Chains A and B, each alone.
Chain A
Amino acid sequence: MSEKKNKIYWKGLEEKEKTPEFINSLESEFPAKPEEIGEILQATPGSEVSRRSFLKAAGFTMAGTMFASCARGPVEKSIPVLVQPEEVTPGRAYWYATTCAGCNAGCGILTKNRDGRPIKIEGNPAHPLSKGGVCAVGQAMVLGLYDSQRLQAPLASGQSAIWEEVDSAINKKMVDISDNVYFLTGTITSPSTRAAIQKFLNKFRSSKHIEYDPVSYSAILDAHEKNFGRRVLPHYKFNQADVIVSFDADFLGTWISPVEFSKDYTSGRKLEDNTSNISKHIHLEGRMSITGSNADSRSRVTPAETGAILISVAKKLAKKSGLRFPNWQISSILKENHQKIIDEIVDELWQARGKSLVVCGLNDTGLQQAVNFINNALDNYGKTLDIQRPSQQWRGDDRQVQELVAKMKAGKVNALFVADVNPAYSLPDAEEFNSAFKQIPLTVSFSDHLEETSGLAQYILPVPHFLESWNDAEIASGVFSVSQPTVMGLGNTRSLRQTLNIWQGTGDDDLENFKTYWQESIFPRQNKITSFQNFWDQSVHDGYAEVRPKPVSLSAFRMVNSAPSKILTDVAADSYSLVLYQKAGMLDGRHAHNAWLHELSDPITKATWDNYASMSPATAEKLGLENGDVINVTAEGAALELPTHIQPGQHDQVIAVALGYGRMGTERFADVGPNWLEGKPTIAQGQTVGENSYIFIAGAGTGYQFNNVVKIAATGKHINLALTQTHHTITVPEQLGGHRRDLVRETTISEYQEDPASGNHKEHHVLQLWDKDHKYEGHHWAMTIDLNSCTGCSACVVSCQAENNVPVVGKDEVFRRREMAWLRLDRYYSGEDENIDVLYQPVMCQHCDHAPCEGVCPVLATVHSDEGLNQQIYNRCVGTRYCANNCPYKVRRFNWFDYYRKDKKENLALNPDITTRSRGVMEKCSLCVQRIQEAKAEAKRLGQPLADGDIKVACEQSCPADAIVFGDMNDPESRISKLINDPRHYQLLEEMNFRPTVGYMTKVRNRDEDHSEDEKHG
């Protein structure tokens, strides 16, 4: 057996270095000490209130209140509808299958509706691609629906207008225009909308529909055009690959279709029994991404080095396979230690020919050609990636966008229609775009907000939220997702397709037109169902339809000799390589109005409400920078002041900045959160959340590159970053020994195959306070979370927030460790510099059978149920906070305020099945007891016993990795019982004998080195 070593886990550098502030913060559950009441009273001059008069006043107030409340309450009305819609029973949820439009991936979702409005989004398990997963962004879309700043009516030159006026005004202008009409949109996955745009543009000479993705995959498409003769985006199949090599592609976080990829990736890494083999994942990147943090082998390299390594791998594989690879020069970039990485990749890939997959996240056509070359040499096409039935999720073409901007500048565009994209924000040369945009005779924006681009347009035609409209999405060839409205339109909006149809006189009934399109174009592509009505009903019911893909004619693979561009230039010693990336919550910035996503702690950095410049600890030390020190980041023609964030595991010469911040309209968040004496605004009045880093995008004339070379300089300013990483750190106090077993446990695949319990520690000699335990005779609810599957995507966190009415508290309250998330995602680091390992651990109430919180509650507001739930009774709680103080897992959250929402419309997103907690009340994870009760009531109604899997708690339902399992451990056949008996199963602080019913499964890494610890204890 290999040598064993102890691994030390830490959540933040302050924990690793044990700074005095950190040690202090461990001492108290609630950091901010409230002022003594006496101090407040004495602080008011001339008000010397004696204890006696204070008590008297209090007594009278109470007696008066009691007296008043003995009277009847106010009269309540019960107003039934005149005619009840069929199938709707007040108080019963009903579900619609539809398609998420949070990004272009087009995941199948189910919306839970109550009383005519959607309140929760869940994954559609039947959907062929997303298979029941939803990401954090998708979960948050229900809040976006009730955004009061969504446009309600058309605007003409900034003035509110009615549709008829706007239509005729635009038509009048169009009469004089006969050519050079352009549509600039994001990738439109909806075939019916594309057809409508095409039909509209056909009337004009030299008109064009240009698709533009702010975070572009253009190079992948262009490379396929060069290599195979068709501009396609492959459909990647991570579940078919034994070896996955990712060159800076964050496919579990934000790349192309992360939910589908997470499903596929984790399904290839499930450990059914100890003979299981799991896929091997090698990752190269400069920053620390969700995907990189999950890799079995991760190397930190700059973007230039990534490209150079990719090309060397291609060259070596060319030799092995006897194919010819162009002689692209890279030698100057490669360092000595890269040879080992290259050899490892080549060996692994060559052994897994036909069962491997190489992906690359750099938007460079040359590098993407090399990727295609490798996948082709390894015979992966048709196996782990499909270009016969390609993905249709992203089709943006950078070069066409740049050509359009050039034409706009030359005054050659007569009319520009912009939809579903925000170029005035996301183009690197936005100012040029803006001034050219204003010169165009007719500009129309189809947008749902007043934002950077739409604010410049002559006409803004508001489009509905995707939960309000009919739509379709072809996400892979032949795979159609269908959207149906789940709520009556909240504003006077029209979809793009509807508007175009009205302009062309084809009727204003969007559903009729949409159905006609399906009858003519999609129905004939299948022959399973013969009647269109049946086909339509089936497709709308299921939320998707699979039909014959359109054949793609490909030419044989050939390399086109166009060497990679300036991405392959090494960075000078005094400069840094800038990596622009998307955060799992904020993506490209399209959801900047969503408070849930702003407050979601980033899975890696654990930061809320901001973007920042990440750098490695060594770089920060070299420059004498601390977290929050503002630096000036300058590139050619662009500069930005950003706070420093120190990111372990990042390359020393890489600066990483998130895109999607600094959006117009985020000024609205200035007063998010409670308004009180010591409260500070989340952002200063008039400022935006974060800064816009799109200005750093390079690559004019070729394609957009999300890398640049920058210089940095300290400014001497400092702003605090709202990091949650060391909040709620589980610790064992000195007086109890100060020692705890590892909270996260891991092993390697070879160790695991030898001993499935490796890396785990099971036998504890614990003392029993009670000789007999409570019997749980009916159900005994339990949960396990498989750390081997959890990718850290944070979908569960937002799902929990949506289901359980968890409020947003704002940045200032986050500083005070008062974020309300019931489910937090702890992220642990271990190792040093190059070899940082990451582990994720979702932690919620552990529902201990011997719960320490229960014994200390003076009013029995938290007690145990006979089904093993730790119950929190809000209406009984008086807010002593003893329970939170006594909770070893730090999962209890206190309502310091009534976190009411000024935006009353947002309250429509509240779940009516859950109490909205008021000020002074403790709350925490209830294991979605409302879902347990609902499932039990339904089982009783149908006269059936409750089956395993009938209850899916919110975090479990949408987990794209299927890491969370909930069930009844009294049922020996249930999934949960089997997992609890698995040798990988363990509990947090098991040695303290709290008997949590939430358990975890060890992480198994596919690598040879060994990490398990083997310490004896008593």
Chain B
Amino acid sequence: MTERNITIVLLIALVTGTIIYASSVDLNLPGNNQGYAPEQPIAFSHRLHSGNLQIDCQYCHTGADKSRHAGIPPASVCMNCHRFVTSSWDDVKIEEQKAQEENRDLKIPVSEELAKLYTAVGFDTEKMQYDPDKIGKPLEWVRVHSLPAYVYFDHRRHVNSDVACQQCHGPIETMEKVSQESSLSMGWCVNCHRDAKNGILADLKGKNPSTNCTVCHY
């Protein structure tokens, strides 16, 4: 085959490949993961905890105001409540009814998702106490919002400047499964810094975020 033929074959392959690929998945610019909503090891619902139950974001993400990383909460934080809450209220009522019908003692209902948490921390739901012999492995959450290694984003500066979590993370309190709302591209960051500086963002009036390169890159 001549070089000319190879070129033609490659060109056709590239063009068809692009068309097929682009029509099957939503194509982003390289590095842009907007809309990414991976399955998590536990189907944790921000809608329930943050929306319905109104738990403060920083109750779990304790690093947000004092560290660069907001942090994924350690399992022990979940256990603060879930030592006592083992399933939904509906399940409790169903179990109550069943127990009455079958004329037996109440069994503690444990939801399927929470069972994974109890396995990790070694919590015996029958006795409702920790079993030190059964401590499992930490939960492997899938990271949704990820910046390249050369970007040094600091949660602390944003939280302490009264930037709402939703500004970047979107309406997290409505999300059943967390999805990346914003593009997290550099242009998106800089636009917000610029708008805040120029007073365009009403809730960030008087803030003066820098647009120096070394704010993020060093």
Contact = CB atoms under 8 A, between A and B. Distances in A.
B7 A56 contact: yes
Contact of A89 (B29, B67, B138, B148): B67
B89 interface: no
Contacts of B218: 913-915, 926, 929-930, 933
B120 interface: yes
B76 A875 contact: no
A91 B68 contact: yes
Interface string B60-84: 0011011111011111110000000
A67 B217 contact: no
Interface string A915-938: 100000000001001100100110
A63 interface: yes
A70 B157 CA distance: 31
B141 A915 contact: no
Contacts of A91: 63, 67-69, 71
A982 B30 CA distance: 53
Contact of B71 (A90, A869, A933): A90
Contacts of B210: 865-866
Nearest to A921: B150
A770 interface: no
Contacts of A871: 212-214, 217
Interface string B150-170: 101010110011000000000
A79 interface: yes
Given A67-B17, A926-B218, A940-B157, A89 B213 contact: no
Nearest to A865: B212
A84 interface: yes
Contact of B138 (A82, A874, A913): A82
A79 B138 CA distance: 7
Interface size class of B (residues with CB under 8 A): 35 or more
A869 B161 CA distance: 24
Interface string A65-84: 01101111101111111111
B143 A76 contact: yes
A901 interface: no
A991 B98 CA distance: 92
Contacts of A914: 218
Nearest to A50: B3
Nearest to B30: A69
A92 B66 contact: yes
Contacts of B101: none
A930 B205 CA distance: 27
Given A89-B63, A90-B63, A933-B218, A915 B149 contact: yes
Interface string A585-621: 0000000000000000000000000000000000000
B38 interface: yes
A64 interface: yes
A915 B150 CA distance: 6
A937 B210 CA distance: 13
B216 to A, nearest CB: 9
Nearest to B73: A80
A82 B136 CA distance: 9
Contacts of A66: 30
A676 interface: no
A79 B210 CA distance: 32
Interface in B182-218: 210, 212-215, 217-218
Contacts of B157: 936-937, 940
A80 B213 contact: no
Contacts of B29: 70
Interface string A895-914: 00000000000000000011
B180 to A, nearest CB: 11
B75 A80 contact: yes
B179 interface: no
A618 B146 CA distance: 64
B71 A937 contact: no
A77 B30 contact: no
Contacts of B12: none
A225 B213 CA distance: 64
Contacts of B25: 71
B156 to A, nearest CB: 5
Nearest to A866: B212
Interface string A844-869: 00000000000000000001011101
B146 A80 contact: no
A863 B67 contact: no
B217 A73 contact: no
Contact of B160 (A78, A90, A915, A940): A940
B154 A937 contact: yes
Contact of A875 (B65, B148, B214): B148
A911 to B, nearest CB: 11
Nearest to A63: B14
B26 to A, nearest CB: 10
A865 B135 CA distance: 50
B123 to A, nearest CB: 11
A79 B74 contact: no
Nearest to A943: B160
Contacts of B38: 75
A39 to B, nearest CB: 23
Contacts of A875: 148, 150, 217
Given A63-B14, A865-B214, A941-B65, A76 B142 contact: yes
A77 B69 contact: no
B154 A80 contact: no
A64 B30 CA distance: 12
A530 interface: no
A75 B141 contact: no
A491 to B, nearest CB: 24
Nearest to A917: B150
A873 interface: yes
A914 B140 CA distance: 26
Contacts of A89: 62-63, 66-67, 69, 71
A83 B213 contact: no
Contact of A64 (B14, B27, B69): B14
A66 B143 CA distance: 23
A332 interface: no
B111 interface: no
A940 B28 CA distance: 36
A53 B2 CA distance: 12
Nearest to A75: B142
Nearest to B75: A82
B44 interface: no
Contacts of B65: 941
A80 B141 contact: yes
B67 A90 contact: yes
A1008 B161 CA distance: 59
Contact of B213 (A60, A64, A863): A863
Interface in B93-140: 120-121, 135, 138-140
Contacts of B54: none
Given A79-B140, A941-B160, A60 B148 contact: no
B69 A90 contact: yes
A92 B36 CA distance: 28
A736 to B, nearest CB: 30
A81 B138 contact: yes
B33 interface: yes
B18 A67 contact: yes
27 contacts: A60-B10, A67-B21, A70-B21, A72-B33, A73-B31, A75-B38, A78-B141, A78-B143, A80-B72, A80-B141, A81-B74, A81-B138, A84-B77, A89-B63, A91-B63, A91-B68, A865-B213, A871-B213, A873-B213, A875-B150, A913-B152, A915-B217, A915-B218, A937-B156, A940-B157, A941-B65, A941-B66
Interface of A: 53, 56, 60, 63-64, 66-67, 69-73, 75-84, 89-92, 863, 865-867, 869, 871, 873-876, 913-915, 926, 929-930, 933, 936-937, 940-941
Given A80-B141, A89-B69, A91-B69, 17 more contacts: A80-B75, A82-B138, A89-B71, A90-B71, A92-B66, A92-B68, A863-B213, A866-B212, A869-B214, A873-B213, A875-B148, A875-B217, A913-B152, A913-B218, A914-B218, A929-B214, A929-B218
